[in-house]
A and B are shown apart, each in its own frame.
Chain A
């Protein structure tokens, strides 16, 4: 009897013993409960919901002591979780890249300035070297000192002219100034002090002319360069919006995003796409000198006028979303284009998917 009871107790214990949880499951439990897990759910709800669903099934299988099912669902939990984590890491890498792109743009500007300093100093030194070479060849006298003074003034004028890129923007006048300076130093080397002084005065005048000629072009070039730098920075910043295809257009940037809405008749931005539009809104706020033209396009299925109406509603929906994120409404123009501007073949499913798109054009604001 005792033996029978003992056997029964052992059988009961074995049947009550819980299955060990797979490592994938315990790891998920730990990570999911953490704050980062909750943040990941907000960032990739569709993936984390899949992981959660598989985890629930794994828990049931664990309770039911279904070993195979437990292993299966724990594995799927892990795969969906891994997927969400990779997506977050991708976003972080993209954001880091955008930051580095900004840093690189600043470095490029600094490098251009440093190269200019280097070029200016080198040219000035070369001119000075011609004058220094005369030392010892000419004897000090009142006339020599006067000529030297005039040459130094011409040298300084040339330096100022080159600082506004006169060697590029007023090449003829600048070359004339350089030639006159050389003539002045040559004359001084031959102790022709009067000639030296005369050439030096002419060199200074030519350098001042070159500076005057170059200044407007230099200012324009600087402004153009600044605009171009901003355009490049805008292009780089828009790279953080996932799913967005960017292209540089005249003075601005075009962003194209496909499948923003539910395929049939939807006018509300899909939740999975909201992140992209939030990034675009952030970028738009950081570049207030640009206006936004929002164009919505449909595929060719259905009635043309209904497609036009639908696209108008969709463009307005995007504008409203961006406005909700803080973009000033008076910077935005929304246009419904219907199906008249396809970019791909409407006969194929893939082509229609490309045609259902939103195009955002960042153009310099006229305000």
Chain B
């Protein structure tokens, strides 16, 4: 299973990174199909929870659920081995997209929030500067009138 590291789900990311190193990625190993499906199902569940706020990957999660349901009855059926492998491969790739979409949406949300904060500060700065300039101008005029103010 191949993913990039996830900021929001470090444990999954860590486990996945370890799997990359151990070379388990993308290989359906004989009787391990069941174990692989289990792992992918757990990852899917976690992604589903992680996406409950931003709903960035709703469509893909639906597709992954369908793939999971498709794979389950194929487990243990010799004749369906190829179909099972293909389904699991597709599920794995779909999960990778889901993971990336969730992280992307989170990063985008943070970016949007940062932009909003910056823009609000810019507006406030413009207002305060304008008022300060005006007050200083009035002050300079009064100083002239009083004659001698520094």
Contacts and interface: CB of A to CB of B under 8 A. Distances in A.
A83 B97 contact: yes
A229 interface: no
Contacts, number: 172
A243 B5 contact: yes
How many interface residues does chain B have, given as a range?
35 or more
Given A96-B111, A104-B121, A272-B20, A76 B89 contact: yes
B90 A76 contact: yes
B118 interface: yes
B45 interface: no
A93 B18 contact: no
B147 A110 contact: no
Given A90-B104, A100-B111, A121-B136, A107 B122 contact: yes
Contacts of A82: 97, 100
Contact of B136 (A90, A100, A117): A117
A115 B128 contact: yes
Contacts of B107: 90, 93-94, 97
Which of B3, B90, B139 has the most C-beta atoms of chain A within 10 angstroms of its own C-beta?
A: B139
A108 to B, nearest CB: 7
B103 A90 contact: yes
A65 B148 CA distance: 95
A86 B101 contact: yes
Contacts of B30: none
A111 interface: yes
A103 B90 CA distance: 42
B132 A118 contact: yes
A107 B135 CA distance: 21
Contacts of A72: 86, 90
A53 B117 CA distance: 44
Given A50-B93, A111-B124, A114-B132, A152 B149 contact: yes
A181 to B, nearest CB: 13
A100 B132 contact: no
Interface residues of A, number: 65
Nearest to A152: B148
A346 to B, nearest CB: 14
Contacts of B121: 104, 107-108, 111
Interface in B93-144: 93-94, 96-97, 99-101, 103-104, 107-108, 110-111, 114-115, 117-118, 121-122, 124-125, 128-129, 131-132, 135-136, 138-139, 142-143
B2 A97 contact: no
A213 to B, nearest CB: 20
Interface string A153-182: 101100110000000000000000000000
A273 B96 contact: no
> Which secondary structure characterizes the binding site on chain B?
helix
Contacts of A121: 132, 135-136, 138-139
Contacts of A86: 97, 100-101, 103-104
A124 interface: yes
Contacts of B104: 86-87, 89-90, 93
A50 B17 contact: no
A29 interface: no
A227 to B, nearest CB: 21
B150 A50 contact: no
Interface in B5-21: 5-7, 10-11, 13-15, 17-18, 20-21
Contacts of A117: 132, 136
Given A76-B93, A148-B146, 17 more contacts: A50-B25, A50-B26, A79-B93, A79-B97, A83-B97, A86-B97, A90-B103, A97-B111, A104-B117, A107-B121, A108-B121, A148-B147, A242-B4, A242-B7, A262-B21, A263-B21, A354-B14
30 contacts: A47-B4, A50-B2, A50-B93, A79-B96, A83-B97, A86-B101, A87-B103, A89-B104, A90-B104, A97-B110, A104-B114, A104-B121, A107-B122, A108-B121, A111-B125, A114-B128, A114-B129, A118-B135, A121-B132, A121-B136, A125-B139, A128-B143, A152-B147, A259-B10, A263-B22, A270-B21, A273-B17, A276-B5, A353-B18, A354-B10
Interface of A: 44, 46-47, 50, 53-54, 72, 75-76, 79-80, 82-84, 86-87, 89-90, 93-94, 96-97, 100-101, 103-104, 107-108, 110-111, 114-115, 117-118, 121-122, 124-125, 128, 131-132, 148-149, 152-153, 155-156, 159-160, 242-243, 245, 258-259, 262-263, 266, 270, 272-273, 276, 349-350, 353-354
